[in-house]
Amino acid sequence: MPHKTALVTGGASGIGKATALKLARQGVTVVISGRNAKKGASAVQEIEALACGQAQVRFMPCDVNDEAAVQRLVRQVVSEFGRLDMAVNNAGIYNESATIDQSDTQNFRDMFETNVLGVYYGMKYQIAQMKQQGGGAIVNLASIAGLNGVPWTGTYCATKHAVVGLTKAAALDHAAEGIRINAVAPGAIHTDIIAAQIEAAEAELDAMHPIGRMGQPEEIAEGIVWLLSQESRFVAGHTLNIDGGFQAK
Ligand SMILES: NC(=O)c1ccc[n+]([C@@H]2O[C@H](COP(=O)([O-])OP(=O)(O)OC[C@H]3O[C@@H](n4cnc5c(N)ncnc54)[C@H](O)[C@@H]3O)[C@@H](O)[C@H]2O)c1
């Protein structure tokens, strides 16, 4: 890849951190953002060590629930690095496993705020910058729960279906401006967000995928980085399943 700058929200752990590492290994300047500066600093150290100094990696604090903070984040990336070529709207939460009648309304509000409005704020300011500079690529984190009903996961499903909808519509609006917007839909992946589910039912999570196991964050990063790259230049508005065959059922 020619020299580029990327932003990964929620990039200090899991899929975001794996994506940042893969980009850094390709020489891309990477900004990871998140709420916890200590966690961010340690992720930067880890990525720099694994990428053997092949790229600049920075942490910038940002809670994606705060629109003004997201706007400042995009401004700060551009003021320090001159442009924003790639953005991954990855920050997300999963705060409740329940049927709709048993679910807590505030939990749904919180999840909607981060998973949907957080992605919306991100795209809003990333697109504005990419329009100014004449192009860019954005990948949003959806889920198999953004394409299917998943039992006991109705509220999270709603947020991830919204991410797929936002991705498709924004892709149509901005494709002609040289901005490609896509999403990935991971199956169950070994990360903190589903640590409780993994502890309670790892074998069931493995068995849910025709390939017979859960995924690793690096396997999702592969797809994200491809969607950000020139190799996928004719792909827009797509949601890429990376799910061990789950969608084929
Ligand atoms: N792990 C899975 O099974 C799975 C499956 C499908 C989709 N996803 C999606 O992948 C994305 C990444 O999750 P992950 O699996 O790497 O888990 P993770 O918990 O390691 O990563 C999520 C990151 O987002 C950050 N975050 C949460 N709320 C935030 C906020 N308000 N502002 C800024 N940062 C915030 C967290 O601190 C964390 O670093 C999420 O959007 C998640 O919904 C995960």
pLDDT digits (tens, 9 = 90+) for 15-27: 999 999 999 999 9
Q: Does the pLDDT at position 160 exceed 60?
A: yes
Q: What is the pLDDT of residue 98?
A: 98
User: Which residue has the least CA distance to atom 29 on ligand 1?
Assistant: 91
Per-residue pLDDT tens for 101-146?
A: 999 999 999 999 999 999 999 999 999 999 999 999 999 999 999 9
Residues 6+ apart with CB under 8 A from 195: none
Banded pLDDT at 241 (limits 50, 70, 90): very high
Task: Give domain limits for the chain.
Answer: 5-185+216-248
Q: Which two tokens stand for residue 92?
A: 């997300």
Q: Which atom of ligand 1 is nearest to the CA of 115?
A: 41
Beta bridge partners of 181: 138
pLDDT over 90 for what percent of the chain? 98
Average pLDDT over residues 58-80: 98
| Catalytic residue flag (residue 156) | yes
Which percentage of the chain shows pLDDT scores above 70? 99
Quickly list DSSP for 134-199.
Answer: T-EEEEEE--GGGTS--TTBHHHHHHHHHHHHHHHHHHHHHGGGTEEEEEEEE-SBSSGGGHHHHH
Q: Please state the rounded mean pLDDT for residues 178-182.
A: 99
pLDDT of residue 165: 98
The reported pLDDT for the residue numbered 97 is 96
Instruction: Write down the mean pLDDT value for the chain.
Output: 97
Domain 5-185+216-248: which CATH number of 3.90.1150.10, 3.30.70.360, 3.40.50.720, 3.30.497.10 = 3.40.50.720
Query: What b/e string do you get for 33-48 counting C-beta neighbours within 10 Å, with b at 16 or more?
Result: bbbeeeebeebbeebb
How many alpha carbons lie under 13 Å from residue 122 in its C-beta half-sphere?
34
Which pLDDT score is estimated for 180? 99
Look at residue 1 and tell me whether its pLDDT is greater than 80: no
Question: What average pLDDT does range 161-170 have in this prediction?
Answer: 98
Angle 103-107-113 from CA coordinates, rounded to 5°:
135
Nearest atom within ligand 1 for CA of residue 184: 7
| Å from CA of 94 to ligand 1 middle | 8
Nearest CA to ligand 1 atom 37: 10
Calculate how far, in angstroms, residue 73's C-alpha sits from the geometric centre of ligand 1.
18
Q: Whose CA is nearest to atom 6 of ligand 1?
A: 143
What is the reported pLDDT for 2? 52
CA distance 153 to 137: 30
Q: In the prediction, which pLDDT does 3 show?
A: 80
Work out the burial of residue 92: count CB atoms within 10 Å of its CB; fewer than 13 is exposed, 13-18 middle, 19 or more buried. buried
